[in-house]
Amino acid sequence: MKIVKEGIVSNSDMIKNYKACREKVEETGKLYIFKNNKLDAVLLSLSEFEKLTPILEYFEKLSEEDRVVAIKLLGSVTLPHKIKKIDLEDKS
């Protein structure tokens, strides 16, 4: 998961400056909320959430074993040339 600096906010900033944080999430699509210097939560814009919902619902219906297989397959699928392949194991 790649976290961009502009999308980071502390838990206390989120509490004190909620309106500004909401505006930031609308600009960036997601906001990473840190507590005690550790990632604590992610706030998604509604449009970002709506994009992810069908995928999340599909994965929720799979058994744990099938989820593991599906995630492994996603990393090895040959994608059409217009779709950028991403590293699912990227921990940066």
Structure confidence by residue, pLDDT tens digits, 49-73: 999 999 889 888 999 999 888 888 8
Task: Return the ∠ at Cα 42 (arms to 78 and 79), rounded to 5°.
Answer: 5
Domain definitions of the chain by residue range: 5-44, 47-76
pLDDT at 42: 94
Domain 5-44: give its CATH code: 3.40.1620
Query: Are 24 and 43 a contacting pair, CB within 8 Å?
Result: no
pLDDT at 36: 94
31 burial (CB, 10 Å; 0-12 / 13-18 / 19+) is buried
Best CA proximity match to 16, nearest among 3, 4, 33, 28: 33
Tell me if the pTM is above 0.85: no
Is the pLDDT at 83 greater than 70? The verdict is no
